[in-house]
């Protein structure tokens, strides 16, 4: 379940419209938190904006920052295991270089993809795109899941 506008009804905040996807929520959370952690880590001053949009077929979650950006020659290698950009902006910032490698693997396991657009010294936007499930299928599945729980208890 995802959102684009935040609706504040006192106790609970919800997002509209609701998008449904048939994915492992732990995997989804892992990818989005990796992207947000990176955006914060590589933005010494500036802002990080998370957005959710969708069409009939897919849901797109973007994490945009106004941080150090990524040189064009590093972009093709970014999702390789242990790859870290090595320049004067990144030298003081620690990490293993596994976050994006893992995140892309998880995105692909969700039948989706993970890609980046970036300009060195200006900022980066990472996009996680996953297939959207239509709401009638989502309702069917939630009825089945509710029945499963009823029968198994
Ligand atoms: P960790 O495994 O702890 O996440 P890491 O952050 O170095 O370590 P990745 O998340 O895989 O590793 O990112 C790989 C490299 O991509 C980083 O070392 C950094 O150079 C670059 N990078 C990732 N996200 C950003 C970003 N938002 N802005 C600028 N550079 C980034
Ligand atoms: Mg990282």
For the entire predicted model, the pTM comes to: 0.89
Strand, coil or helix: 115: strand
CB 4 within 8 A of CB 52: yes
Domains of the chain by start residue, with CATH: 2-145 (3.30.565.10)
**Å from CA of 47 to ligand 2 middle:** 17
Cβ of 62 closer than 6 Å to ligand 1, yes or no, is no
Phi, psi of 133 (to 5 degrees): -100, 135
SS percent in the chain: helix, strand, coil, step 5: 30, 30, 40
The mean pLDDT value of the chain amounts to: 89
Q: What pLDDT, on a 0 to 100 scale, did the predictor assign at position 139? A: 83
**Å from CA of 57 to ligand 1 middle:** 29
pLDDT tier at 97 (50, 70, 90 boundaries)? very high
User: Which tokens hold the place of 51?
Assistant: 């957005």
**Burial degree of 147 (CB within 10 A; 0-12, 13-18, 19+):** exposed
- Could you tell which of 97, 98, 119 is best to mutate to test the pocket of ligand 1, judged by most ligand atoms within 8 Å of the CB? 97
Cβ of 64 closer than 6 Å to ligand 1, yes or no, is no
Tens digit of each residue's pLDDT (9 = 90 or more) over 105-128? 999 999 999 999 999 999 999 999
Is the N-terminal amide bond of 33 cis, ω within 30° of 0?
no
Cβ of 96 closer than 6 Å to ligand 1, yes or no, is yes
Tens digit of each residue's pLDDT (9 = 90 or more) over 52-93? 999 999 999 999 999 999 999 999 999 999 999 988 888 889
Cα 122 to the center of its chain, rounded Å: 20
- Looking at ligand 1, which residue's alpha carbon is closest to its atom 17? 84
Q: What pLDDT, on a 0 to 100 scale, did the predictor assign at position 140? A: 84
Q: Which helix (H) or strand (E) holds 108?
A: helix 99-109
Cβ of 97 closer than 6 Å to ligand 1, yes or no, is yes
């Amino acid at each position: 379940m995802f959102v684009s506008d935040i609706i504040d009804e006192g106790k609970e905040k919800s997002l509209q419209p609701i998008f449904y996807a048939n994915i492992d929520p732990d995997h989804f959370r892992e990818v989005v938190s990796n992207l947000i952690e990176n955006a914060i880590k590589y933005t010494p001053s500036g802002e990080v904006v998370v957005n959710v949009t969708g069409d009939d077929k897919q849901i797109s979650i973007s994490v945009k920052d106004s941080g150090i950006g990524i040189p064009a020659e590093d972009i093709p290698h970014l999702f390789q295991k242990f790859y870290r950009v090595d320049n004067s902006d990144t030298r003081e910032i620690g990490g293993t270089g596994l976050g994006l490698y893992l995140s892309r693997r998880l995105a692909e396991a969700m039948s989706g993809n993970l890609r980046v657009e970036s300009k060195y010294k200006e900022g980066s936007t990472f996009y996680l795109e996953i297939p959207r499930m239509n709401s009638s299928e989502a309702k069917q599945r939630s009825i089945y899941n509710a029945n499963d729980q009823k029968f198994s208890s």
